[in-house]
Structure 1
Amino acid sequence: MEVLVPFSTDRPKSRLSTVLAPDERARFARAMLLDVLDAVGAAGGEPCVLATGAVDADLPCPVTIDDRPLTDAVNAALDARLGASGAERVAVVMADLALATPDALRELFGAGREADLAIAPGRGGGTNAFVAGHPAFEVDYHGASYLDHRRIADEIGASVAVVDSHRLATDVDEPADLAELLIHDEADDDEGARAPRWLREAGFALDATDGRVGVKRE
């Protein structure tokens, strides 16, 4: 199954600007992207990065450049595959799902083989990952896109499976999300996923001094 991984090279992770400088945000975003690509490949998917520009990283998969807004770029990619080439299923997995594991993605892919649309909602009502098999399905990433995608599926008569997964629901956008990445990292300091390792090497650590778990930079 081909898995499109949208990735923005234009001011990546701007909502982390209070804790990371622009060059740090770029490096951190690339670390998350590589972790997601590793997880997709280990889950049996065939990743392809859908980037807004050239990616400054050694990627293990093809890159398609489309500088249009996310909704337009993904819809064009879906139409080229489900509509024109006749692919049976196409997945889209966001590049900031740094907690994604092969097991979580295999669950999504499995659900997508049974339903016309398998969708993993984000914590704030967004759409973090999905598998589409209906040629008439289109995305709309504005606002609460999970609800919009359920509505679109209903309008075209597509069956829907919802994959409720903490690891797929957690996209790293805000400073508070960095704590989730460090909490759920299962590797030792010098091993494992790139993104949590990058955070530790940049001086970030968990902090619960105010009664809530967050991060601090040493």
Structure 2
Amino acid sequence: MSDRVDALVPFAPDRPKTRLADVLTPAERRGFANAMATDVLAALEAAGFSPELLATEPTGRDVPETVDDRPLTEAVNAALADRAPSPASPLAVVMADLALATPRALSRLRGSGDVVLAAGTGGGTNAVLTRHPAFRVDYHGASYLDHLRAARDVGATVREADSRLLATDVDERDDLAEVLVHGDGAARDWLRDAGFELDAGDGRVSVVREE
């Protein structure tokens, strides 16, 4: 593996996974979000990145972290401005809820291009690597298209990292099935310990929870 690349992992332990409120209590959402972050950090490390949390509050984890409680776009852009990525010193930003991310999938971010983007299934941006000091993010709405334009506006070459594993971020109940089917880390184990299991009784795979 070539030289290690710094990777920021934005993480909001104080307000995790609000769209799972219909299936998980606040304490459970926090525990599940922590499990997913554990998987992402481990996969990044194995892929040759040097991961660092960009957290809204201190986490107490044994990993470098910067605490910034500003909104996601503002916090990431502050980090980009401070670090001024370059071809010799690229910087990745990888979301903390990519529970299916593997080292092999994450290694695609290290391909050629001033900016490498991994889209989410809903049009968001789940991961980005930039070697261009002027590139900035905007995570509102269909951010993937916005990031394509932002890269081209600063004259950056763009490469798309097409990966189903990176495209799957876990936000809603149906996403839990993906973790149970394809996951193999702390997030899957957390769901199983919490009583979640797969149910294909109606012809489609869904998630049920043991009472």
* Equivalent position SS for 1:10: coil
Q: Is the 8 A contact 2:54 2:67 kept in 1?
A: yes
Count of aligned pairs: 206
Matched, 1:18 2:22: yes
Matched, 1:203 2:195: yes
CA-CA distance at 1:88 after TM superposition: 2.3
Quote how far apart the aligned CAs of 1:69 are.
0.2
**Any stretches of 5+ residues in structure 2 without a counterpart?**
none
> Which residue type is aligned with residue 203 of structure 1?
G
1: CA distance, partners of 2:170 / 2:88: 30
Name the stretch that deviates more: 8-17 or 163-172. Answer: 8-17
Moved more, 6-15 or 39-48: 6-15
5+ residue gaps, structure 1: 188-192
Q: Aligned match of 2:67 in 43, 65, 68?
A: 65
Residue number in structure 1 paired with 2:108: 107
Distance 2:57 2:95 in 1: 16
Paired amino acid for 1:48:
E
Provide the residue aligned with 1:122 in structure 2.
120
The offset of 1:87, in angstroms, is 6.1
Task: Name the counterpart of 1:190.
Answer: none
Contact 1:81–1:87 under 8 Å retained in 2: no
- Identity of paired residues, percent? 60
Pick from 25, 32, 36: which aligns with 1:32? Answer: 36
Map of 1:177 onto structure 2: 175
Distance 2:139 2:88 in 1: 23
Note closer, same or farther for the CA distance 1:87–1:26 as it changes in structure 2 (3 Å cut).
farther
Instruction: Say which SS state the counterpart of residue 72 (structure 1) adopts.
Output: helix
> Which of structure 1's runs of 4+ aligned residues deviate more than 3 A?
none
TM-score (structure 2 length as normaliser): 0.94
Structure 2: how far apart are the matches of 1:86 and 1:183? 37
Q: Distance in 2 between matches of 1:43 and 1:86?
A: 19
Aligned to 2:46: 42
Q: Distance in 1 between matches of 2:82 and 2:192?
A: 40
2-side partners of 1:158 and 1:86: how far apart?
A: 11
| TM-score normalised by L of structure 1 | 0.91
**Cα displacement string for residues 51-84 of structure 1 (whole angstroms, at most 9, x for unaligned residues):** 01121x5x3421100000000000000111116x
Q: Secondary structure at the match of 1:106?
A: helix
